[in-house]
Amino acid sequence: MTSSIRFLMCAPDHYDVDYVINPWMEGNIHKSSRDRAVEQWQKLYEVLKKHAIVDLVTPQIGWPDMVFTANAGLVLGENVVLSRFLHKERQGEEPFFQTWFEENGYTVNLLPKDLPFEGAGDALLDREGRWLWAGYGFRSELDSHPYLAKWLDIEVLSLRLIDERFYHLDTCFCPLANGYLLYYPGAFDAYSNRLIEMRVAPEKRIAITEADAVNFACNTVNVESIVIMNKASNALKARLADVGFRVIETPLTEFLKAGGAAKCLTLRVTEPLDTDIHANVSVESRVIRMEGHLLDSGLINRALDLIVDTGGSFQVMNFNLGEQRQSTSAAEVRVSAPSHEVMEEIISQLIDLGAVDLPQNERDAKLQPVIQAGVAPDDFYVSTIYPTEVRINGQWVKVENQRMDGAIAITKTANGLVASCKLLRDLEVSDSVIVDVLGIRTVRKTESREQRNSQEFSFMSAGVSSERRVELVVEQVAWELRKIRDAGGKVVVTAGPVVIHTGGGEHLAQLIREGYVQALLGGNAIAVHDMEQNMMGTSLGVDMKRGVAVRGGHRHHLKAINTIRRYGSIAKAVEAGVIKGGVMYECVSNNVPFSLAGSIRDDGPLPDTQMNLIQAQEEYAKLIEGAEMVLMLSSMLHSIGVGNMTPAGVKMVCVDINPAVVTKLSDRGSVESVGVVTDVGLFLSLLIQQLEKLTNPYVASVG
């Protein structure tokens, strides 16, 4: 023994793998050898005794994991925070550890019931005593961290564990003497890795490989320049030797079967206090309130999942379940996050779901001036498709021009303050922009079970449809189209060239001719292929009637472009009688406005194609204004563009043969968007048939 450093251990008299509470224990129940475990433990004990004082706590029958004394509690100076185990399989160890601490003169701090924290397994002091690293995500709750800070008067840095093999912080993280850190980055989320990198200089970080990590190389006992562990690769040993550490390997394979090794089997009970260091927690908490059909619409699950997935944790403080089917529920949830940054991320996502921050209800939104035209302040709130309100001078103001991916700008006008969504490029120096996530709420319709089942778009709510459902979607879309047309409403179609290749051109042309479409959005290609087909019978050189490539056909589309260029515009070519039918012909003849947005791959382009993209976005936005429904036909690019500009409440139907496109576009909440994975030509032909049935009952029944 060379120092006054003390450790606590517990002999493996009753050790066994009796249950499964971590992935290492799976398949290992009663598979560990008691004799070998005793021998391995004894070796560790002997090694450690050469470098420190080792105290023992009496093992107890029925508590096989008690050997892992790291989980007894967390010690700093005279203070102990006793563990509250997550699993009942280990909760019985608590009183025995408590007694030991009390008998040895420690002040024992007890966490509230139901707030799990697993001691030094999940909380590791920086070896220079500067701060405490605390893990959460599997065993310990983030909300325990502020208690650690308060009771131990130390700064707590919260790290989120995301790989269940490394369920305790000490399985993947080990602060060493002289400010070194041995750790496995793959066990942490991106935010935590960033925090580690901010606090520990690159030359002090020893990141290990997965192979070393699964041998519990981070589960190391460090006494001055000695590091004791189960096993290390030669590379790791060399790396540690380079910076002055001597590795002592002592096999602990029997304990690996329970998910622990050297560090887990010990608890350092002398941790000197640095009186210059004081508490500081970056963990933030807020109470949010949600109301509506929280269960029926699945909103509450989504909210709680997103809190955890984003790195926070929660406590449901109140849940008032609506009693009748049609009554709404209300919930108050306390959200905790490891930092203000993560909190903002969580709250802005919760706002999208319709939650309000409780105290924030009484707080105004935060504004910051735009100081450079076209650039928002760093912390600006990114707008969504949902109707939004912001609180300014105690008043909730409705945001105009709602769209996603903008900033909310506040402008002074003669009629008072106006809040509106603005694209970054449109921000002006006289604007103020909403920053942070205070004083913002979105209005979300949460459907009850009844509404959900009766809404027009409801049966499609599961999103991507299968064969039979294609027909159902077609019936529903035909019904909507007719209703909107008869009421003088507006339907916008975005279409890609595939519409023409799949033979859907004539159907789309018919829809336009019959007044079902009020604006067409696309690119250069759909117009070119449509007109090529009408002038030459081919689409990209393929004969549309026979489905075979025509000799020399690949030149057809350039010839089509050239012809239109000669006339100066599509409209002029139609007028001159060069184009006699098809999608573009019907647009021109029926005064249906269209916008063709250019791209880098465009041939020609057509004189009508807008190659200035900002201009094109503006034309699109104008044409979308006031639309009730958008039909997106096999054009990922233009459809996503349109999706971004369209506020919630506009029905969207996305048809594409690629399920990925459909999923991406129809993911806007069930009531208003629907995706169909099918051939767009087929879809359009079914749609025309269905519309004919609706408008022409005699023709259908006589035939």
Least Cβ distance, residue 116 to ligand ARG (angstroms): 11
Rounded distance between C-alpha atoms, residue 133 and residue 457, angstroms: 50
Name the one range near ligand ARG by CB under 6 A: 63-71, 328-336, 417-425, 690-698: 63-71
Task: Choose between 218 and 621: whose C-beta lies nearer to ligand ARG.
Answer: 218
Instruction: Name the amino acid, one letter, at 51.
Output: H
Evaluate whether 614 touches 423 at the Cβ level (below 8 Å): no
Nearest to 654 by CA among 628, 617, 680: 680
Q: What are phi and psi of 485, to 5 degrees?
A: -60, -45
Q: Does 90 bind ligand ARG (CB under 6 A)?
A: yes
Q: Which residues between 18 and 37 bind ligand ARG (CB under 6 A)?
A: 21-22
Evaluate whether 381 touches 352 at the Cβ level (below 8 Å): no
Name the one range near ligand ARG by CB under 6 A: 163-171, 185-193, 669-677, 688-696: 163-171
Task: Choose, from 145, 168, 507, 638, the residue flagged as catalytic.
Answer: 168
The arrangement of strands across the sheet holding 329-337 comes to 313-320, 329-337, 284-292, 356-357
199 to each of 157, 170, 175, how far by Cα in Å? 10, 18, 12
Task: Choose between 261 and 621: whose C-beta lies nearer to ligand ARG.
Answer: 261
Q: Contacting ligand ARG (CB under 6 A), which of 82, 247, 258, 573?
A: 258
The residue number whose beta carbon is nearest to ligand ARG equals 121
Token reading at 448 = 């009850």
Q: Which residues between 109 and 148 bind ligand ARG (CB under 6 A)?
A: 121
Least Cβ distance, residue 34 to ligand ARG (angstroms): 16
Q: Does 264 bind ligand ARG (CB under 6 A)?
A: yes
Please give the size of the binding site for ligand ARG, defined by CB under 6 A. Answer: 15
Nearest to 86 by CA among 317, 304, 313: 313
Q: Contacting ligand ARG (CB under 6 A), which of 145, 168, 286, 668?
A: 168
Least Cβ distance, residue 169 to ligand ARG (angstroms): 8
Least Cβ distance, residue 106 to ligand ARG (angstroms): 19
Q: Does 12 bind ligand ARG (CB under 6 A)?
A: no
Please identify which residue in the block is written with the tokens 């799949």.
502
Q: What are phi and psi of 371, to 5 degrees?
A: -110, -10
Least Cβ distance, residue 71 to ligand ARG (angstroms): 5
Binding mask 169-208 for ligand ARG (x = CB under 6 A): -xx-------------------------------------
Residue 603 per-residue DSSP state: S
Pairing of strands 519-523, 491-495: parallel
Rounded distance between C-alpha atoms, residue 248 and residue 228, angstroms: 5
Nearest to 480 by CA among 509, 497, 457, 502: 457
DSSP H/E element including 82: strand 79-82
Whether 638 sits among the annotated catalytic residues: the reply is no
Q: Is the dihedral of CA 288, 289, 292, 295 positive or negative?
A: positive
Q: Contacting ligand ARG (CB under 6 A), which of 8, 70, 346, 525?
A: 70
How many degrees, rounded to 5, is the angle at CA 7 between CA 6 and CA 8? 130
Whether 168 sits among the annotated catalytic residues: the reply is yes
Nearest to 679 by CA among 469, 504, 508: 504
Least Cβ distance, residue 20 to ligand ARG (angstroms): 9
In sequence order, the 6+-apart residues with CB closer than 8 A to the CB of 131 are: 125, 154, 155, 156, 157, 199, 277
Least Cβ distance, residue 166 to ligand ARG (angstroms): 9
Least Cβ distance, residue 663 to ligand ARG (angstroms): 38
Least Cβ distance, residue 89 to ligand ARG (angstroms): 8
Burial of 207 (0-12, 13-18, 19+ CB in 10 A): middle
Task: Choose, from 264, 421, 587, 654, the residue flagged as catalytic.
Answer: 264
Burial of 241 (0-12, 13-18, 19+ CB in 10 A): exposed
Q: Does 215 bind ligand ARG (CB under 6 A)?
A: no
Evaluate whether 45 touches 92 at the Cβ level (below 8 Å): no
Task: Choose between 135 and 292: whose C-beta lies nearer to ligand ARG.
Answer: 135
Q: Does 73 bind ligand ARG (CB under 6 A)?
A: no
3-class secondary structure, 301: helix
Q: Does 388 bind ligand ARG (CB under 6 A)?
A: no
Q: Does 9 bind ligand ARG (CB under 6 A)?
A: no
Binding mask 394-413 for ligand ARG (x = CB under 6 A): --------------------
Q: Does 259 bind ligand ARG (CB under 6 A)?
A: yes
Rg (CA), the chain: 33
Task: Choose between 71 and 282: whose C-beta lies nearer to ligand ARG.
Answer: 71
Task: Choose between 258 and 460: whose C-beta lies nearer to ligand ARG.
Answer: 258
What is the binding site for ligand ARG (CB under 6 A)?
21-22, 65, 68, 70-71, 90, 121, 168, 170-171, 258-260, 264
Q: Kindly list the catalytic residues.
A: 168, 264
